Amino acid sequence: KAGVTQTPRYLIKTRGQQVTLSCSPISGHRSVSWYQQTPGQGLQFLFEYFSETQRNKGNFPGRFSGRQFSNSRSEMNVSTLELGDSALYLCASSLRDSHNSPLHFGNGTRLTVT
């Protein structure tokens, strides 16, 4: 079974631009979550989607948004990029609809903002 697929693997953007990252969950998984990993802050929760609905959102500004499609694929968007948005963005999917179902992560998209 294919794992969580994230595209692209690497991105370089300029301050002020916007970016869209894509995530395809494991087949059959309906829950998709996004996390940001930075050296200073570690892994931080961005948001979670289930059945095209955002169920939970972390403590990030409104420039960070996302959506989920009917096939469970998800995208996240960051507008008006800042240097501090440089990070590894990780998508994770989960099989069961419960808080104690492990998340399975993709390999991430490395975003560099210059």
Partner 1 sequence: DQQVKQNSPSLSVQEGRISILNCDYTNSMFDYFLWYKKYPAEGPTFLISISSIKDKNEDGRFTVFLNKSAKHLSLHIVPSQPGDSAVYFCAASLPSGSARQLTFGSGTQLTVLP
**Other residues' Cβ atoms within 10 Å of the Cβ of residue 77:** 13
Number of residues that bind partner 1 (CB under 8 A): 29
Q: How far is the CB of 37 from partner 1 (least distance, A)?
A: 9
- Decide if residue 60 touches partner 1 (CB under 8 A): no
Tell whether residue 108 is a contact of partner 1 (CB under 8 A).
Answer: yes
Own/partner long-range contacts of 9-12 (Cβ < 8 Å, ≥24 apart): 9/107, 9/108, 9/109, 9/110, 10/109, 10/110, 10/112, 11/109, 11/110, 11/111, 11/112, 12/112, 12/113, 12/114
Q: Which stretch binds partner 1 (CB under 8 A): 60-68, 69-77, 79-87, 101-109?
A: 101-109
Where does this chain touch partner 1 (CB under 8 A) — which range of 13-21, 60-68, 73-81, 90-98? 90-98
Q: Does 56 bind partner 1 (CB under 8 A)?
A: yes
Map the footprint of partner 1 across residues 18-47, applying CB under 8 A.
Answer: 31, 33, 35, 42-45
Contact, 7 vs 22, CB < 8 A? yes
CA distance linking residue 54 with residue 72, whole number of Å: 12
Chain residues that interact with partner 1, rule: CB under 8 A: 4, 6, 31, 33, 35, 42-45, 48, 50, 55-56, 58, 90, 92, 94, 97-108
